[in-house]
């Protein structure tokens, strides 16, 4: 981005990038498809930016390096994790050496479109890569912490909430610079900016979606006695009662229809008995044939209509790679709204998904703030439903996540489950933002978020970070 642009006085340039690695252990395991998560390494990034007058500011970004979700493989976990860490270092070096200037939407877009593919190619050809290539989704996770930090730094530089800058006053280009409408639509992005697609009055409270993992006990008699005695609920009914939950996301196998159906019925019965209002089903990208999902949905409607009525949408039954697996899913989306998640790498994938019959998109900040906003604008302009899904975000990662959900206007709240799997990890942040790390009356409270950037209030959070690039003991 040239400095000689319409808003050159508001442009910023990255001058430095730093990364820290914070390990977190789960209190109970979380199952992802064929793999199980028992610990995660969180990537925390600090980006420094400068403007044309020499003013400088820092910003922060964070994401869990969720290896099992981003890179399902028979390759060993440690090999995949170390590859992602090495790629994150490449991203850090690339940002530190960048000479581009502009708004974070423009800098982030150019990085994702041009620099990221080059870094992936270099990484996969280098000695840091294992025998299996780093997939795009894993690369996006690594890149996302830097992108989020850039947006935060820009807001801090100008002492403004970052969401107040996604408009003509601050950006050099409208959305037509980034997005192309679907061929069968009358949509135009000329003269439009991300802010045009935000809700007019972002809520200070959001309904919280609770994750019912594939290994989670549903009832008290399923407890083994080996569960942690930490005062945190251990089975679904206790979670619903303690947190006042109204929305449940059900993790399924996607390759065992009898188990999946039975799980949906059992969770549905507990939901109905406890006043839960909505559920969703996540098939974990394991399904190959739409009829697998159709048969479950039809049987549920036939045998348990009240449980079927609870099901608000179906999430990502089919493989990640839409371009390789161009499955026509119109038959599924005729039954229930069908939302892209892992496949929604960027707005181009959302466009392809719409062609194949998907009706909504689940946004994640772990695919970059820039990319999430562009996907949101494209999807909303074309009448698709919007949801914001969790990556089991602890600590700082929770704040951009919930802010995105509040701004874009989801079909109902936000998924948030870090308090289920590693509640103690966010103790330092919870002292400043108690309503973000504990669900009460089925909601999260965003009222403590304030100030420039994402409103982290990071100076008030007492957390000692490990040395740059080193994992905390």
Q: Do domains 8-177 and 194-460 have the same CATH topology?
A: no
Angle between helices 136-158 and 369-381 (to 10 degrees): 100
The model's pTM: 0.96
H or E element, residue 85: helix 77-96
Q: Residue 43 and residue 127: Cα distance in Å, rounded?
A: 22
Of 11, 127, 141, nearest to 79 by C-alpha is: 127
- Residue 473 has a pLDDT of 33
The pLDDT score that the predictor gives to residue 8 is: 75
Hey, how many other C-beta atoms are within 10 angstroms of the C-beta on 46?
Answer: 22
Contact 314/332 with Cβ under 8 angstroms? yes
Report which of 45, 51, 67 is spatially closest to residue 14, judged by C-alpha positions: 51
Q: How many C-beta atoms surround the C-beta of residue 126 within 10 A?
A: 12
Using CA atoms of 23, 28, 30, 34 in order, give the dihedral in degrees to the nearest 10: 110
**Which tokens is 321 given?**
């790679």
Residue 210, SS3 per DSSP? strand
Kindly report the number of other CB atoms within 10 A of residue 334's CB atom.
12
Q: pLDDT of the chain along its 473 residues, tens only?
A: 433 345 678 999 999 999 999 999 999 888 776 788 889 999 999 999 999 999 999 999 999 999 999 999 999 999 999 999 999 999 999 999 999 999 999 999 999 999 999 999 999 998 877 889 999 999 999 999 999 999 999 999 999 999 999 999 999 999 999 999 999 999 999 999 999 999 999 999 999 999 999 999 999 999 999 899 999 999 999 999 999 999 999 999 999 999 999 999 999 999 999 999 999 999 989 999 999 999 999 999 999 999 999 999 999 999 988 999 999 999 999 999 999 999 999 999 999 999 999 999 999 999 999 999 999 999 999 999 999 999 999 999 999 999 999 999 999 999 999 999 999 999 999 999 999 999 999 999 999 999 999 999 999 999 999 987 654 43
Place of tokens 């109970």: 28
Burial zone of 383 (CB within 10 Å; 0-12 exposed, 13-18 middle, 19+ buried): exposed
Q: Tens digits of per-residue pLDDT, 431-456?
A: 999 999 999 999 999 999 999 999 99
Report residue 172: phi and psi, to 5°: -85, -20
Res 256: pLDDT: 96
- Report the C-alpha gap between 344 and 320 in whole angstroms: 8
Q: Quote the pLDDT of residue 9.
A: 84
179-217 burial string, b = 16+ CB within 10 Å, else e?
A: beeeeeeeeebeebbbbbbbeeeeeebbbbbbbbbbebb
CATH superfamily of 8-177: Enolase-like, N-terminal domain (3.30.390.10)
Q: Are 130 and 71 in contact (CB under 8 A)?
A: no
> 3-class DSSP state for residue 111?
helix
- The answer to whether 129 and 83 have CB atoms below 8 angstroms apart is yes
**CB burial of residue 30 (10 Å; 0-12, 13-18, 19+):** buried
Structure tokens that stand for 414 in this block: 């936000």
The CATH architecture one would assign to domain 194-460 is: Alpha-Beta Barrel (3.20)
Give the domain ranges of the chain: 8-177, 194-460
pLDDT value at residue 469: 65
């Amino acid at each position: 981005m040239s400095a000689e642009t319409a808003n050159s006085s508001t442009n910023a340039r990255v001058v430095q990038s730093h990364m820290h690695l914070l390990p977190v252990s789960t209190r109970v395991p979380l199952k992802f498809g064929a793999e199980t998560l028992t610990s995660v390494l969180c990537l925390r990034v600090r980006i420094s930016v400068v403007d044309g007058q020499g003013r400088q500011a820092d910003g922060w970004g964070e994401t869990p390096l969720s290896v099992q979700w981003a890179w399902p493989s028979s390759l060993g976990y440690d090999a995949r994790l170390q590859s992602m860490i090495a790629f994150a270092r490449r991203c850090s070096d690339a940002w530190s050496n960048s000479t581009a200037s502009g708004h974070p939407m423009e800098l982030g877009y150019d990085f994702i479109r041009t620099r990221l593919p080059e870094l992936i190619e270099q990484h996969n050809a280098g000695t840091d890569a294992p025998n299996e290539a780093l997939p795009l989704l894993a690369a996006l996770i690594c890149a996302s912490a830097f992108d989020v930090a850039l947006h935060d730094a820009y807001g801090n530089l100008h002492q403004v909430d970052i969401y107040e800058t996604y408009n003509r006053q601050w950006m050099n280009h409208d959305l037509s610079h980034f997005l192309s409408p679907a061929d069968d639509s009358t949509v135009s992005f000329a003269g439009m900016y991300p802010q045009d697609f935000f809700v007019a009055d972002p809520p200070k409270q959001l309904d919280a979606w609770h994750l019912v993992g594939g290994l989670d006990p549903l009832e008290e008699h399923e407890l083994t006695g080996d569960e942690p005695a930490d005062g945190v609920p251990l089975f679904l009914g206790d979670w619903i009662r303690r947190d006042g939950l109204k929305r449940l996301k059900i993790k399924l196998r996607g390759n065992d229809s009898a188990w999946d159906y039975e799980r949906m019925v059992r969770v549905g019965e507990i939901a109905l008995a406890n006043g839960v209002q909505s559920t969703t089903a996540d098939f974990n990208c394991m399904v190959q044939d739409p009829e697998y999902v159709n048969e479950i949905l039809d049987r549920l409607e036939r045998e348990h209509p009240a449980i079927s009525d609870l099901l608000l949408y179906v999430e990502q039954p089919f493989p990640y790679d839409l371009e390789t697996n161009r499955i026509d899913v119109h038959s599924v989306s005729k039954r229930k709204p069908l939302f892209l998640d892992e496949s929604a790498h960027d707005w181009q994938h959302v466009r392809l998904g719409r062609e194949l019959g998907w009706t909504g998109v689940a946004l994640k900040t772990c695919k970059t703030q820039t990319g999430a906003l562009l996907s949101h604008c494209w999807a909303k302009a074309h009448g698709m439903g919007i949801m914001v899904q969790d990556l089991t975000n602890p600590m700082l990662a929770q704040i951009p996540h919930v802010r995105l959900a509040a701004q874009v206007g989801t079909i109902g709240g936000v998924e948030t489950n870090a308090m289920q799997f590693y509640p103690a990890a966010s103790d330092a942040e919870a002292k400043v933002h108690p309503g973000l790390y504990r669900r009460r009356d089925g909601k999260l409270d965003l009222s403590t978020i304030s100030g420039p950037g994402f409103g982290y209030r990071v100076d008030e959070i007492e957390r000692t970070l490990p040395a740059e690039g080193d994992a905390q003991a």
